[in-house]
Amino acid sequence: MATIANDNFEVYYSEKLWEWIPPIYRQEDGLANPKETLRGIIEVMAQQAAILRRSQDRLWEDQFIDLCEDWAIPYIGSLLATRLLSAQNERAMRNDVANTIFYRRAAGTPRILEQLIHDISGWKGRLIESFQHLARTRHGLDPQPIPLAGRFTGTLPGGVADLRNPVGSKLSTGPFDEYFHTPDFRKPKGIQGRYGITKLNFHLYTLVSYQASNVVPCWMDTKEYYTFDPSGRLIPLFVKDPKPRFNDWEKWHSPFEWELPLPIRCRLLGNAEFELTEEKILSFTNNESERDELRKIANIRFRSEASFESRINGLGLDIIALKRHCMIDECGQKQLWPRSLSVFPGTEISREKIKAASFENTFTDPDKMLMVDAEQGRFRFTDNSTPDNLFVTYNYGFAGPCGAGFYERHIPTDKPAPKIVTDRKIRMTDILDIPDPQVLQINDSLTYKIEGDLEPVRDFTIQAKNYERPFIALDKNCTFSTGANNDSKFVMDGLWIGSLPKQGPFTIKFKGDFESIVIRNCTFDPGGKNGQGDILHPVAIELEGNVENFCIENSILSSILINGSSLLDESLCISDSILQSGNNAAIRVSTGITKIQRTTVLGDVVVHRLYSSDSIMTGLVIVTDNQHGCFRFSAAPAASILPGPYESLLFDIMDSTDYWFTSEIFGHPGFGQLSVAAPKVLYRGGENGAEMGAFNNLINAIKLDGLKIKIEEYMPFGLIPAFIKET
């Protein structure tokens, strides 16, 4: 969305046009009509004059695709006779027009086809020409097979796979498959029909890798390890979002595993399988010149930034920094492993002292000092030490910017300078000294506790700094009360509020008379289990009193309860959010109007009056006043009581909806994301032609359509593309 220049053209032209009006009419306008109708007409004309002036000022920029306004893109594209994409995907349309000549000059090459994935959809991906993975006998004109052997399995090109190799088996059918297959002439569907002479497989990674910086890990006392996640959940660590690819044609290569936003495998983090030892070199070839070339490759080393860091930063302690090292393996491809870990001044845990391993099996190695399980997101020191002030930096995956997270948020600038939290315990009594409007800000992503309740609330905002995600661990209920005040305002932005293990469930209660309550970019933990099986109870939102407008934006919640003697005067607005309630109702509102837009609700909904659009509700929806409101472009059980469904999916309540989502477990990278097995109407049932639910604004279906159009335009004639979502 373009930002309007602060040029005050509206004011300038208002005064300019007003001066042209004879003074008698200006005076009569103020005397005869207190509303100043003539002045209002002049201001409307001034607004249009300002638009025209800005357009004239930008006339030169509108001739260039990288500077022009969005309206000018189709006109520039028509000069190139390019096939325009959907106007809803503005980024793709601009990239397509900007790179049309480049695409045409290199049409049909793997580089262009892979670059289209990022330029059109914004995702990362890898192209596999499946004819290169067909089993066949070696031809005399083929290159020497030894340097092209599989990195992990040693499988020769076109040869028989070693099925005993666990690494190769885990990578099979994926974009890094080292096995070779017989031709499959079926239509591509799932894992069927992928391999053939005419088939191109596009492996897509739609999840985003977010970097969590300086987070307090959670200690699992019975399991004796730390989890990277501050709530104690086991989550897979992701590869850090890679930097832009090469612009030099000669340096381009298909992305490696560590250059894609995907979960880190244990063996990718480790180093055993990547070492090119003298023993391996001797086994690869008998040619001494080839051995010398391999020895040169083995001696090449590069430094690279890690996908995660583990830090200790306390009184008198240096930073613990887990770095990575990078080498070029026998195929000329880079591989990564942990390099070193600095603990105390002058002390270092070398790469050889760090072990990438799974904790499921008992493992002891006296030569190792630190064990990291990237697949489950946990680590431990082999001496079972528990140092104080331990912080970690890692990457996690999620479908998009929803809930509390490490992404850019729009923070209003009209508020006064905030008071910064300097203690790991947020004492509500200290907040009362802040003059109105009260603004409290947390500048890091550490774990906090709330002490006491806040009363009275007048105009209070509690927020996290941009790109930060503080975790507030509750050990009791928390109440925000207006006391004797009326029409109070409350804003919460960017916080993750959860509970400690074996405690709860807890409630955030709003008590008194509120003009507005706004919860934006927050996560109220829906509950689950931590790494040692302890229950993490959900954190619910409850209103006890009156509120005029309750607004939920871009958040992940457990449940919202407004019932009994409480009163919703006007509306409850929920947009771009996910609600998961477990066995209770996700939304229970007995008064007012409930507006739900682009939201996924995993639970029942009981409201007085409902306006729903582009939403998915897996539980029963009971609307008391079903003579008003609407239910459009949404999904709900057919047994629900709804106000006149329009273009919606009504399904049998007995049908399972578990397969609709990649995961319904909070903390999983695919939480709330539509799975490839979900009904097709969910993918394109939104009003804009995109998916229903919380990620409607990502327009993934529209992006995929645009990608298919451009792949067909620039790929070699007669080939069959297959699009495979890996994440």
Question: Is the residue at 583 inside a domain?
Answer: no
pLDDT at 32: 61
- State the amino acid at position 7 in one-letter form: D
Sign of CA dihedral 165, 171, 176, 178: positive
Q: Quick one: which H or E segment has residue 114? A: helix 110-116
**Cα–Cα distance measured from residue 571 to residue 560, given in angstroms and rounded to the nearest whole number:** 13
Report residue 552: phi and psi, to 5°: -115, 120
Distances (CA, A) of 319 to 341, 348, 373: 9, 11, 21
**Cα–Cα distance measured from residue 581 to residue 560, given in angstroms and rounded to the nearest whole number:** 9
Question: Is the residue at 327 inside a domain?
Answer: yes
| For residue 162, pLDDT beyond 80 | no
| For residue 612, pLDDT beyond 70 | yes
| 225-234: b (≥16 Cβ within 10 Å) or e | bbbbbbbbbb
Question: Is the residue at 226 inside a domain?
Answer: yes
Question: Is the residue at 511 inside a domain?
Answer: no
Highest mean pLDDT among 120-124, 375-379, 436-440: 120-124
Match 């930002």 to its residue by tokens.
Answer: 3
- Helices (H), ranges, 310-417: none
Kindly report, residue by residue over 490-503, the tens digit of the pLDDT: 999 999 998 887 77
Question: Is the residue at 236 inside a domain?
Answer: yes
Both tokens of 500, joined, read 């400690």
Kindly report, residue by residue over 99-152, the tens digit of the pLDDT: 999 999 988 888 999 999 998 998 988 998 888 888 877 777 766 666 667 766
Least confident range from 362-366, 474-478, 658-662: namely: 362-366
Q: For the residues 610-628, what does the mean pLDDT come to?
A: 92
First CA to last CA across the chain, in angstroms?
Answer: 28
| For residue 64, pLDDT beyond 70 | yes
Confidence of residue 337 (pLDDT cuts 50, 70, 90): very low
Percent residues over pLDDT 90 in the chain: 22
Mean of per-residue pLDDT scores for the chain: 80
Confidence of residue 601 (pLDDT cuts 50, 70, 90): very high
Confidence of residue 291 (pLDDT cuts 50, 70, 90): low
Domain boundary at 357, 373, 398, which?
Answer: 398
Question: Is the residue at 403 inside a domain?
Answer: no
Confidence of residue 222 (pLDDT cuts 50, 70, 90): confident
pLDDT at 582: 76
Least confident range from 155-169, 179-193, 678-692: namely: 155-169
Higher pLDDT, 727 or 278: 727
Question: Is the residue at 364 inside a domain?
Answer: yes
Q: Kindly report whether the global pTM for this prediction surpasses the value 0.75.
A: yes
pLDDT at 281: 59
**Tally of residues, the chain:** 727
Q: For the residues 90-103, what does the mean pLDDT come to?
A: 90
Q: For the residues 550-570, what does the mean pLDDT come to?
A: 86
| For residue 405, pLDDT beyond 60 | yes
| For residue 592, pLDDT beyond 70 | yes
pLDDT at 290: 60
| For residue 318, pLDDT beyond 60 | no
Report residue 569: phi and psi, to 5°: -70, -45
Distances (CA, A) of 269 to 260, 322, 339, 627, 727: 14, 12, 10, 59, 19
Least confident range from 75-79, 101-105, 390-394, 712-716: namely: 390-394
Confidence of residue 156 (pLDDT cuts 50, 70, 90): confident
DSSP state of 118: I
pLDDT at 187: 82
Highest mean pLDDT among 113-117, 186-190, 270-274, 350-354: 113-117
pLDDT at 296: 53
Higher pLDDT, 297 or 108: 108
Domain boundary at 382, 398, 414, which?
Answer: 398
Q: For the residues 549-576, what does the mean pLDDT come to?
A: 87
Question: Is the residue at 605 inside a domain?
Answer: no
Higher pLDDT, 573 or 356: 573
The domain in which residue 288 lies consists of 208-398
Least confident range from 43-57, 155-169, 437-451: namely: 155-169
Per the CB < 8 A criterion, the answer to whether 525 and 498 are in contact is yes
CA dihedral 723, 724, 726, 727 (to 10 degrees): 60
| For residue 394, pLDDT beyond 70 | yes
Domain boundary at 57, 72, 88, which?
Answer: 57
Q: For the residues 410-422, what does the mean pLDDT come to?
A: 79
| For residue 312, pLDDT beyond 50 | no
Least confident range from 97-101, 285-289, 546-550: namely: 285-289
pLDDT at 282: 61
**Cα–Cα distance measured from residue 208 to residue 406, given in angstroms and rounded to the nearest whole number:** 11
Q: For the residues 547-562, what does the mean pLDDT come to?
A: 91
Confidence of residue 701 (pLDDT cuts 50, 70, 90): very high
Confidence of residue 5 (pLDDT cuts 50, 70, 90): low
Per the CB < 8 A criterion, the answer to whether 262 and 239 are in contact is yes
Q: For the residues 414-436, what does the mean pLDDT come to?
A: 75
Q: Which of 510, 513, 566, 565 is nearest to 540 (CA)?
A: 510
Confidence of residue 248 (pLDDT cuts 50, 70, 90): low
Q: Quick one: which H or E segment has residue 38? A: helix 37-57
Higher pLDDT, 101 or 182: 101
Higher pLDDT, 573 or 33: 573
Q: For the residues 464-489, what does the mean pLDDT come to?
A: 88
pLDDT at 563: 72
pLDDT at 334: 40
| 379-400: b (≥16 Cβ within 10 Å) or e | bbbbeeeeeeebbbbbbbbbbb
- State the amino acid at position 31 in one-letter form: L
Higher pLDDT, 557 or 294: 557
Report the number of distinct structural domains present in the chain: 2
Q: For the residues 55-66, what does the mean pLDDT come to?
A: 84
